[in-house]
Homo-oligomer: A and B are copies of this chain.
Amino acid sequence: MSSLPAASHSTILEVARDAGVSKTSVSRYLGGERHRLSPAMQARIAAAIQRLGYRPNQMARGLKGGRSKLIGMLVADIRNPFSVTVLHSVEQACRARGFSLLVCNTDNDPDQERNHLALLASYRVEGVVINAAGRPSAELKALAEQGTPIVLLDRSLSDVDADVVGLDNAGAIDMAMDHLLERGYRNVLYVSEPPEGASSRQRRLERFRQRLAQAPELTGETACLAMQRDSDALRQALHGFVSRESPAPRAILCANGNVTLQVAHALNALGVSLGETGLLGIDELDWCALAGPGITTLAQPTEAIGQAAVESLMQRLAPPGRQAPPRRTEYAARLIARGSTHR
């Protein structure tokens, strides 16, 4: 009763022969048109498929119809928990709609981004979710001009006609500042990674400065540093801020999860006690409750963001009439107050 190990992949033709029917019938059986086949034939085809261990070849399938059933996703930093959570939700949303996800990590490198984009194009992905690392490239424009739907995640790109899905950055900064003010902090250091090439960073920084300008009772400053590369600079900046004479209670606002992590490390090394010196970070991380008295954060609705991204794609995928103009979807952050902002 043992079947021979199929040397290679069997084809629809072999199935057809084995079942004694035509290729077309098998194709129909597979393509969700079984209702048009006689029960007898269905049974024979099913048996043949089973017997041969047949698996349809998506490559060939995509060739003819142009439907690769593939969505591409460009992630700027796969090791960023925020990205991963969004990725997770994007993948689920895709799968729920019968698409697979081709994931590319760019490590925030524009060159890699371009290569990956070309790659995705070569696999004829039907849509692309991009957490952009660089400026709009020729590859991206080519993709857009070919009519491939594009959704920008977290970071928008000038000159690109695409939906953008992400956090309400200004609102998040507002929320953070309101919280810090309410808790009595009056001197705020805003720490960010370099904002060039990441619109969300720019937007947050900009809003922080606006808030500073609007609130006379508040003083503040900003520090933009490449976190991983020079942790020394970060430590120095923090040391300067923390040790300086200041009657106003101090707090540090971290522009994203990575910043929060690095700042927490630096403060830890400096022996700064959280709470007395406030600390608030954008992005919720699963360990934030564990560091010192707990770190107050602004959680992003990552699930919603991922789903919205795919939803956008799907709408542009089915072009019934005229395409709607690019849309911007912004989600509100959620404050999770912990000990680090409790004086």
Q: Are B57 and A122 in contact (CB under 8 A)?
A: yes
Partner of A147, one of B8, B78, B122, B287: B8
Interface of A is mostly: mixed
Smallest CB separation, A167 vs chain B (Å): 19
Q: Are A265 and B291 in contact (CB under 8 A)?
A: no
Partner of A287, one of B56, B62, B79, B261: B261
**Does chain B have a CB within 8 A of A250?**
no
Report A56-73 residues with CB < 8 Å from chain B CB: 56-60, 62-63, 68
Contact string against B for A residues 266-300, beta-carbon threshold 8 Å, 1 for contact and 0 otherwise: 00100000000000000001110111100000000
Which residues of chain B are near A6, meaning CB under 8 Å? 142, 145-146
Return the chain B residue nearest A143 by Cβ.
Answer: B55
Report A73-126 residues with CB < 8 Å from chain B CB: 78-79, 81, 84-85, 87-88, 91, 100-105, 118-119, 121-124
Given the complex of chains A and B, what is the CA–CA distance between A7 and B147 in angstroms?
A: 8
Which residues of chain B are near A105, meaning CB under 8 Å? 88, 91
Which residues of chain B are near A5, meaning CB under 8 Å? 145
Which residues of chain B are near A309, meaning CB under 8 Å? none
Q: Are A286 and B261 in contact (CB under 8 A)?
A: yes
Given the complex of chains A and B, what is the CA–CA distance between A8 and B265 in angstroms?
A: 50
With A63-B63, A291-B291: A122-B88 Cβ-Cβ less than 8 Å? no
Given the complex of chains A and B, what is the CA–CA distance between A58 and B8 in angstroms?
A: 20
Contact string against B for A residues 300-341, beta-carbon threshold 8 Å, 1 for contact and 0 otherwise: 000000000000000000000000000000000000000000
Q: Are B88 and A56 in contact (CB under 8 A)?
A: no
Which residues of chain B are near A79, meaning CB under 8 Å? 81, 84-85, 88
**Does chain B have a CB within 8 A of A251?**
no
**Does chain B have a CB within 8 A of A209?**
no
Contact string against B for A residues 137-162, beta-carbon threshold 8 Å, 1 for contact and 0 otherwise: 00000100111000000000000000
**Does chain B have a CB within 8 A of A264?**
yes
Report A227-271 residues with CB < 8 Å from chain B CB: 261, 264-265, 268
Partner of A124, one of B59, B103, B285: B59
**Does chain B have a CB within 8 A of A9?**
yes
Q: Are A124 and B261 in contact (CB under 8 A)?
A: no
Q: Are A68 and B78 in contact (CB under 8 A)?
A: no
Which residues of chain B are near A20, meaning CB under 8 Å? none
Residues on A facing B (Cβ under 8 Å): 5-9, 53, 55-60, 62-63, 68, 78-79, 81, 84-85, 87-88, 91, 100-105, 118-119, 121-124, 142, 145-147, 261, 264-265, 268, 285-287, 289-292
Known: A78-B87, A102-B102. 16 other contacts (CB 8 A): A9-B146, A53-B145, A55-B118, A55-B122, A57-B122, A57-B124, A58-B122, A59-B123, A79-B88, A81-B81, A84-B84, A88-B105, A100-B102, A100-B104, A103-B103, A291-B291
Can you name 13 A-B residue pairings with CB atoms under 8 Å? A6-B145, A55-B118, A55-B121, A57-B124, A58-B123, A81-B81, A91-B104, A100-B104, A261-B287, A264-B290, A268-B289, A287-B290, A290-B292
